[in-house]
Structure 1
Amino acid sequence: MKKLLLITLILTFITTYSQEEKTQMISKFDYSEDNREYVMENFLGIEKLDFSFTNSEKLIGKNFKITLRKYKNGEIEIEKIVINTKGEGLPTINKDFKFSLITQQILNNEKIAFFFPAFFNKQIFEVNKKFKDGTMLLREVNGGYEKINFEIGKEIQIALITPPNDNPDKGNLGYCEVSKGNIDVEKWYEKYKISEFFLIYLIVEE
């Protein structure tokens, strides 16, 4: 019995240590604590998603890219590398690697901005006029988990910008239905038939 307990404790320690050593990405919506700012952001349809990383010291000095892909009828319509630290001579990752993604859909345009401590990048993409202002919302793709595993040299999805599911035959109505986790574009489009959406990807280079 004592041996079994000892083995259990050792395995628990190894599992916990292994999890602590992993680099994981944390995404969290940032809502203003000031009531007037909160009301104004909601009125204007401005959304902000903050990203940070556990064990970020393992990423120090590395370059990274952020790629934005706009899909139309399930196919890539626009693919754009919006941030390339190596190619643009931008600051590499420091000890406290974090950034914010801010979006707003207004006047048939989707405004997307990335804010880092030392620089920022803003993009504007035209969207179909059938999507009224504020229809396309920023969504997490972490499947409800606080942290998701992150690997150097592997591109991962970090955010989705999409209209809601408006077909009751395809599941629950709204945004939660279409943002349950990592998006398999082919299967996702086949199910929901959402004509336009954006996916944002990050890769930290080896």
Structure 2
Amino acid sequence: IGNKFLFPGPGFGGSCFPKDIRALSHTARQNGHQLEIVDAAERANRRQKRVLGERIRDAFGGSLAGKRIAIWGLAFKPETDDIREAPALQLISDLLEAGATVVGYDPVAMDNVRAQLGDRIELASDMYGAASGAHALALVTEWKQFRGADFRRLKDQMANPLVFDGRNIWDPEAMRDLGFTYHAIGRGHEQRATRG
């Protein structure tokens, strides 16, 4: 792992790393050892996958009944359709449990999401369609097309300009200047939109 992968975010997923650390820990226990750092990494990842959902619920006072929440990025990382242990799956589960309607978009993982979740969530044909009428948007996977979003269009599409940037790809000051309430992982307190 190099600095290429060391960024704040909603947790890690995929087919290899989560499975490998569980296997390593299991093998160590079978041989009479406990790998506390490895076990702590697993616990921290499970916890981190719940942070976005908690922040979204908190922003609405705990209940998401009647709220439409958009999710951009469903794969565990950009440039893949792999959703195995993707942070978006935990977020979707948490949002549905809190009563939200969830609308997702991913450039390539839609078929896998549809196969796994069926009609539990809505899937939009594009990123702006997912955000249409949304009370909040959560960015979970940092696809390049999300970096260059048309934020004026996004704000016009949304019912409420509330954004949760799970990958810190957007500039908080620029988002505030555009009228968004901006939350991010790893940046401290939220950046609230100023109304003028």
TM range (shorter): under 0.3
Normalization by structure 2: what TM-score? Answer: 0.28
Name whichever structure is richer in strand by fraction: 1
- Tell which has more relative contact order, 1 or 2 (C-alpha 8 A, sep 6+): 1
Q: From the CA coordinates, give the structure whose radius of gyration is larger.
A: 1
